[in-house]
Amino acid sequence: MKRWMRAATATLAGGWLAAMAGAIQATSRPTQPDLCAPVRLSETGLYAADGSVASANRPFSPQYPLWSDGASKSRWIYLPPDSPIDTTDNANWEFPVGTKFWKEFTFNRRKVETRLIWRAGVDQWIFATYAWNEEQTDAVLAPVDGITGAAELAGGKRHNIPGQIDCQACHGTKQPGPLGFNALQLSIDRDPNAIHGEPLAPGMMTAATLEQEGLLSPSRPELVTAPTRIHASSPRTRAVLGYLAANCGTCHNPAGETSFTGPSLKHSDIADGDDVVARLLQYATAWQVPGQPEGASRMLNALEPDASAILARMRSRRPSSQMPPLATQLRDEQAIAAIEAWIATDVRRRQ
C-alpha cells in the first residue's frame, strides 16, 4: 500500500493527477461547459474547516448494502438548498443539479478510498474516486483507469480502486445516478434479516425524513404511512430479494444498461416477492450452468440448488462468469450460504 501511495503523491506533485481531473467528464452529452472533479477529496465539499464532515452532508445507510469485499462503508448526500428530489416517477428519482454523494471504504480500520457522484449539470454526472494517503489526512483523485492492489483482502487478493469506466458500468449511462438511494433502500420499514444489514444510526436520512423535511416533490406521504417494502411469504424470501435488488437489479431489469429480458430485480419491480420468485424459477438462462444439459439451466432450480445459475455465478470469481461482474474480488460467502438455504427450503416448498 505504501508503494502506490508514494507513487500517487509523486504524480500529484508533477501535476499528472490535475490533468486526469480534467478528463473526468459527463456520462452523456453536456449542455453546458464540463466541470471537473477536484484533485483532492478535501476540495469536494465533504468536510468542514475543522476536518469533520460538513453538517449539510447528511449520512444515510441503505437497508440492503452492496457487497464490497467486506469493506466498512460510510455514505453521505448533499442536496442543494431549496432543490427537492423530483419523485414524479417514484421508481426513478431525479436529483437536482448540484447533488453530491460520497461513499467511504475502510479496510482493516484504514480508509482506502472515497467515491464521489456529483450531478454537475442537467446532462452531466461526474464519477470520481479518491485514494487515501498513508497519513489518512486526505485523498487524491485516482487515475481514470483506477488503482490496482490498493488494499489487502483475504486469501492474498487485493482491493482495486475503480476507474471512471468501472463507475459508469455500474451506475449507468442511460439513467446515471446513485444505486442505494431510493424508496426501498431508505424505507423505515427496515428488514431485520437483511444480508449484511447495517444499523440505522441517529441522524441518518430516510425516506420519512426526506418527506417530512419537504425534500421530495411531489410530496410522498405514503413513504411515512405505508413505507416501501418487499412483500413475501417468508422473511427469508424478503431478505434474499432485497440482496438481489441491491447487487443485481441495476443490470437485471429491462431499462438497465444491458436491456436484460429476464425477470426484473430492480428495487421498484420486486414489491410482490413471491411473483418474482415464480418468474425466476421459470427463467431459462442463456449462460449455461456447468454440468447442466444444454438449455436446462434456470435462474433458480428448486430441486437442485447447486444447479441454480444465481448460485453458480455468485460462487465464481472468473471474469467471464462471476456475479456481480465488477468491483468484487472475493465471494460473498454469507450471501451464498443464505441463498443456498433459501433455495433448499422456501423455494423448494413451492414445487
Confidence of residue 319 (pLDDT cuts 50, 70, 90): confident
Residue 164 in contact with residue 149, Cβ under 8 Å?
no
Q: Is 316 exposed, middle or buried (0-12, 13-18, 19+ CB in 10 A)?
A: middle
pLDDT at 16 over 80: no
pLDDT tens readout for residues 244-264: 999 999 899 988 777 788 999
Which single residue is written with the C-alpha cell 452532508? 57
Indicate the helix (H) or strand (E) that contains 121.
Answer: strand 110-121
User: 71-99: buried (b, 16+ CB within 10 Å) or exposed (e) per residue?
Assistant: bebbbbbbbeeeebbebeeeeebebbeeb
pLDDT, tens digit, for every residue of 21-69? 333 333 443 345 578 999 999 999 999 999 999 999 999 999 999 999 9
Mean pLDDT of 70-74: 97
CA 23/CA 42 separation, integer angstroms: 19
Residue 311's φ and ψ, nearest 5 degrees, are -70, -45
**When comparing pLDDT for 271 and 34, which is higher?**
271
pLDDT tens figures, 157-205: 999 999 877 777 677 666 788 999 999 999 999 999 999 999 999 999 9
Q: Give the residue-averaged pLDDT of 144-148.
A: 93
- Return the C-alpha cell found at 18: 490535475
Mean pLDDT value of segment 213-236 = 98
The pLDDT of residue 22 is: 39
Helical (H) or strand (E) element with 140: strand 139-141
DSSP 160-218: EE--HHHHHHHH-SSS-S-SS-STTTT-SS--TT-TT-----TT-B-HHHHHHTT-EES
pTM of the model: 0.88
Residue with cell 475502510: 106
Domain ranges, ordered by start, for the chain: 2-222, 230-350
Element (DSSP H or E) covering residue 21 = helix 16-23
Average pLDDT of the chain, as a whole number? 89
